[in-house]
Structure 1
Amino acid sequence: MAKDLTPQEFDELDTLLQNAPGELEAMDVAMLDGFLCGVLVQPDLLKTADWLAYVFDAEARELPADTDPAWLARTTELIERRHAALRKALAEDQWFDPIVLQLDGTEEPDPDPAFATLPDYSKPLVPFASGFVTALNTFPNGLLSMTDEAIELAMDRVARHLPCSDDDERAAMAELDAEHPLKTLDQAVEDMVLAVVEIDSLTESERYRVEPVRHETPKLGRNDPCHCGSGKKFKACHGAT
């Protein structure tokens, strides 16, 4: 059973990530939560080795040779437990409790002036949304390659909590806000979580699809010459075993 992290372990993980070795730029726990959700809802079933390096560094640079093995083991353990708990919550509950940034008005102003233009209910969700979009961009041949309109709308419902980068994005988000308005942080959290749950449901069949086994060469008939080159018929040679 996937045992989720305790509040103390979330704090521990955040501290461990802040102390990533060398010059690595690790995620914080709020961004990590969004990233893990973005990994989990991909149409391909991704292994830890496919995505873990991006948690430790934005460019997935290798860990320094002198990385403390105890730091790596504990950090990886906590990350994988949160990943498993989110997978279980999505599959069984169709809900999860995301890590939401707690803003108390004492934070340093964000250097990106576009951050100030976000609605108040979006600002606490920026790290989660950023992590989710990072996962989409990390695996561009996955979710981003799909053309399902329902999936695209659900992705926009998460990305709406990030500053827009161009006029097309601003127009799309303005349309989304008009059709699906939000007024409070609680509404925003619920809508974001349900968007992730919806994507997970829409991609589940792709993620667990079983490919049929295809034989590269045609099957030999019993009266065909045996493939071993003996000159005998298949039924009298290897077909008789």
Structure 2
Amino acid sequence: MSLPNDLLDAEFAELDALLANTPKPLEALDVAMLDGYLCGVLIQPRLIDEAEWLPGIFDFDGRALPADADPAWLDRITTLTRRRHSALQRSLAEQGWFDPVVVDQPEDEAAEPGDQPLSEAEQLQRDTYAALAPASRPLLAWVSGFAHALERYPELGEIDEPGIDTALARLFRHLPAETDEEKEILATLDREHPLKDVDDAVEELVACVADLNDLTQAARYHVDTIRRDQPKVGRNDPCPCGSGRKFKACHGK
């Protein structure tokens, strides 16, 4: 069940369409990537202001929007994204759970005579998708967005905490393994923690994000204690400024 003020299905579709209209040559996230990105922002060991994380949704390389970007378009994206960010934050805090945006891609159709050949990038994307385990394919976009957040904010990976490493490994199993080490980790996970189907994969993904949220909560909301060089002045004490009046009637107002 979604929390109050979360996006409706039609609003998720609207947000996806708005992101697709991001001015070129910027490469914006799609709505599933955005969802993963927001979770990657929320589980950091520090609170990240909207002004810092919002630009990351418009381009993977961090390029800024053009100065002449449509203000109405930008305002609508910001409004919808802010609501989803708030809903995710509340859901993790109050329930330790959330419903991720998972969009499965349709099966490839056989090429018909006269069809335009795929570009090199499109063919690479299809090959990458096909190489993943069936349970991981619908989560590829979401986890790619999550990884995008960790690239922008590497503080999480700098924490020496085995629980964080384990949760990240179980999330990144849904990305293509490139190095021998990644392939070995994936093989170990498939052997020790096999995924039956997409529902099982989604449940594990949500649990890993909830674990990360719990592991970083203390650091995220840590408040430094302020040490005073001088004793605290009582409200009925003489004001330190030397006016002769009580503190409450002078600088303590």
Question: What's the TM-score bracket when you normalise by the shorter of the two chains?
Answer: 0.7 to 0.9
Q: Does 1:104 align with 2:98?
A: no
Q: Which moved more, 1:106-115 or 1:143-152?
A: 106-115
TM-aligned CA deviation for residue 21 of structure 1: 2.0
- Report how many aligned residue pairs link the two structures: 224
Q: Which residue does 1:232 correspond to in 2? A: none
1:123 to 124, 128, 137: 137
2:78 to 76, 79, 88: 76
Amino acid at match of 1:151: I
CA contact (8 A) 1:33 1:99 kept: yes
CA contact (8 A) 2:136 2:201 kept: yes
- Give the Cα–Cα distance (whole angstroms) in 1 for the partners of residues 150 and 175 of structure 2: 14
TM-aligned CA deviation for residue 114 of structure 1: 4.2
1:10 to 12, 22, 39: 12
- Give the Cα–Cα distance (whole angstroms) in 2 for the partners of residues 102 and 110 of structure 1: 18
TM-aligned CA deviation for residue 165 of structure 1: 1.7
Q: Does 1:188 align with 2:190?
A: no
Deviations 1:74-95 (A, max 9, x none): 0100011000000011111111
CA contact (8 A) 1:154 1:195 kept: yes
Deviations 1:204-239 (A, max 9, x none): 111111111145xx549xxxxxxxxxxxxxx9x857
Flag structure 1 segments of 5+ consecutive residues without an equivalent. 221-234
- Give the Cα–Cα distance (whole angstroms) in 1 for the partners of residues 4 and 226 of structure 2: 32
CA RMSD of aligned residues (A): 2.2
Deviations 1:121-151 (A, max 9, x none): 10110000101111111111x2111111011
Q: Runs of 4+ in structure 1 displaced over 4 angstroms?
A: 107-110, 237-241
Q: Which residue does 2:191 correspond to in 1? A: 178
- Give the Cα–Cα distance (whole angstroms) in 2 for the partners of residues 21 and 78 of structure 1: 18
- Give the Cα–Cα distance (whole angstroms) in 2 for the partners of residues 193 and 128 of structure 1: 11
Q: Does 1:167 align with 2:218?
A: no
Q: Which residue does 2:114 correspond to in 1? A: none
- Give the Cα–Cα distance (whole angstroms) in 1 for the partners of residues 173 and 30 of structure 2: 20
Q: Which residue does 2:250 correspond to in 1? A: none
- Give the Cα–Cα distance (whole angstroms) in 2 for the partners of residues 132 and 103 of structure 1: 19
CA contact (8 A) 2:37 2:149 kept: yes
- Give the Cα–Cα distance (whole angstroms) in 2 for the partners of residues 102 and 147 of structure 1: 35
CA contact (8 A) 2:104 2:137 kept: no
Percent identity among equivalent residues? 46
CA contact (8 A) 1:2 1:81 kept: no
Matched ranges for 1:33-112 at <5 A: 33-106=35-108, 111-112=124-125
- Give the Cα–Cα distance (whole angstroms) in 2 for the partners of residues 45 and 2 of structure 1: 22
TM-aligned CA deviation for residue 180 of structure 1: 1.2
Matched ranges for 1:113-152 at <5 A: 113-140=127-154, 142-152=155-165
Q: Which residue does 1:231 correspond to in 2? A: none
| Counterparts in 2 of 1:110 and 1:213: CA distance versus 1, 3 Å | farther
- Give the Cα–Cα distance (whole angstroms) in 2 for the partners of residues 28 and 114 of structure 1: 17
Amino acid at match of 1:64: P
